[in-house]
Amino acid sequence: MSVRNSKRAHTGRTRLGLALEQSAKEILAHVKGEARLPTRRIVLPGEVDVKRIRTKAGMSQAEFARAFCINPRTLQEWEQGRRKPDATTRAYLAVIAKKRQAVLEALAS
């Protein structure tokens, strides 16, 4: 019996398929106002003080750029105010500011 077949219920439907079906039912109930699903509001900073984040980390521009896979020239441009990080990068920098070690560990693995 293959791995794929061993995950199937006796009805021939996979656990993943059943979970997707249940999720779709929950979404439909939410849209109809019959159920309330948990939500999370993401507040993305409009401005990010990149230099403050870097200096708080105790890193040079070269170290910070290398550690977090950022182009060194781009980092300089941000710090000097000639360019601004886009929304995705602002979110990444916010995570670095709050959980720097976790980001470093994730990038190292």
88 lies in which domain range? 50-108
Residue type, 56: K
Number of domains in the chain: 2
Distance from chain centroid for Cα 48: 17
Domain co-membership, 54 together with 95: yes
Residue type, 41: R
Q: Which is it for the CA torsion 93, 96, 97, 99, positive or negative?
A: positive
Domain co-membership, 54 together with 35: no
Is the pTM higher than 0.75? The answer reads no
Q: What is the CATH number of the domain that holds 70?
A: 1.10.260.40
pLDDT digits (tens, 9 = 90+) for 25-53: 999 999 999 998 888 887 887 889 999 99
Domain co-membership, 54 together with 104: yes
List the single range of 25-39, 50-64, 80-94 with lowest mean pLDDT.
25-39
Domain co-membership, 7 together with 35: yes
